[in-house]
A and B are shown apart, each in its own frame.
Chain A
Amino acid sequence: MGNRDVFECFLDYFLIEEKGVYMPLLKKACAAWNIREEELQNVIQVRMQQYHRTDHQAMRKVLALYLKEWLYIEALKENSEQMKIYFNVPGAMCAMYWIKQSLDCNAYLGTPDLITMVVLYGILGRKTKMETNGCRHCAVNVMRLLLRTEQQIPEPDIRCTFGLVCDEAPKQDLLIEMTESETTHFYIHSPVRGRDEKLYLERQVEDMIKKIATKYHVLFDEKEYWKIKNVRFNLSAKIDQIIQFISRSKSFLLSNADIGLLETLLLASFQTDMNEIVLMLDDLYHEIRHTSGKEIKYKFCIYYTPVCNPQYGRIMEENGIALLYQTAFVSNAVYTGSYRVTEDIAAECCGMIITKSVYEEADKISDVICRRRFDGLLLGMFTFDRWMGAQQNLLKTLVEKKTGKRVYIYETDFWNQEIFSPERMYAMVETWTEMLEEEKSETRSIITDRKPVPGMPAEAAGPIYRRKR
């Protein structure tokens, strides 16, 4: 690094070229979050090599995407004229982009809570724990509240709150509403399940669109929505192409943390144009085709790789476990071509598999494990969550029964490292891999005829083998 400015080196490392714009923002962000220069130095000298494949230029650009999005929040504070739209995740992404585009192409559309969590904890490695006061609130919700109460983000013009999984976020945002007297708030969540769910959500979306159109005197062009939908589809297809390629490879072409960040591109919104992100991923795809890495021994699905704690993915990698498919992103929403826009938005909202019953979720996950021939599934990163926490044991039982594959639970917190111990996790994962190794060697030596179980796909039955005497 020599005598060069740390901030400059930091931006160079992530191939961020617009230094005139981002340098002052980086300095302000570091001051606002009390981030020291040594910490930045550690990120580029140690942390990135530890947890990410930054030897791929395109991966650095993906990381930069998150960083730039985070830095942009500093610019927002000074730009009172720019329209600001915030929303929480999981939300109706296409709808949110459509609203932004219809209102003002230059409006800020963002998920600052998610981005701040990913950057502060995942990329920069902040040590301070989030205080959840014993209640174990979802830390991304706590962050959303803190951002406002600590004046880290300005008051938005519009805040859309989605409660598509549980209703903790809408409840919290009702509290945030107290600090945002000028903001127009919308709450999209379904109090019904089953046949009326889509209709109910559609009505809520219609109402939101109508109110925005009236208040801001804008027209919503349905063609624009379908264009956005198309680009989102390209983004999702490109991510899937990369992950499928890695799944067929025998080595870690990207780190587990990298894969988690790629999937998160579908969850967050960015100021960077979506087409540009697709091109960036295309570059990444071509780059990883010509590289190799440490050997992958086991290929697992995971509920969602903890993107705020890259140690998790790293420990798995050290034990040869690749976390390739994030089941939290599975959706049942299928575009039929005959939907109205609002109907399509509602279908996207209620099609997410994580909003369904544990039975439906287990069916879908089992299908993925069998089709893509994964060695098993990892759960446990949402034990704090009252919606997902309690059902993970049941999900484990159901998936194991349907697939015959291993489902492991390691209890940790996706967002917050209040209870994370790398040593403990390492010991646990070592034990799993020993068990997997033993099973593999048994399977190799004594495979016998398979007898498919009625109602179960043949490949799901797995090898039936005799135990060694």
Chain B
Amino acid sequence: MDNGASSYRRFRDNGDEHGLDEIIIGYRDGLMLYLTSIVGNIHTAEELTEDTFVLIGTKKPKFKGNSSFKTWLYTIGRNIAIDYLRKKSRHASVPMDELPEMQSDEEELETAYIKKEQQITVHKAMRKLNPEYQQILWLTYFEEMSSKEAADVMKKSIRSVESILYRARKSLRSQLEKEGFDYEKT
């Protein structure tokens, strides 16, 4: 699989369902962790990730190639998450963040997707920052997106993204120091 665009084209234009399968396999975990940074809940993020794939499977929106496929897919996922948060704000719900099984799921996903122990520690520290910092750090350091791509996904200007990233880095550093992470060694 290349960057996912060709798989999606096969699925959309030729009706090849394996194209969609490849996209799910390639992007599910990263998208889920990104959406977790938005909604703050791994299970909700999982549902929203599924919704994202169902949306591109049913509506089959056109991928114009103006950005990378990942940027495009994450933008769709983010929009779905924002819609979810908007609806959720209208209906008061019981917070589920504290459930122990959720924590284990997230750890499992971190281990599977991030792999490096050091990065897992950073990700854990990130989870305590505000959602906007989490998003920008995730996109920039874990998904290795450029400032422009991150700006596209988050629907912000590049200057604004760079500013948020700067503040997010500072916040993450203080959080890591607070947790006793030996920042100088890394």
Are A and B interaction partners?
A: no
Residues of chain B whose beta carbon lies under 8 Å from any beta carbon of chain A: none
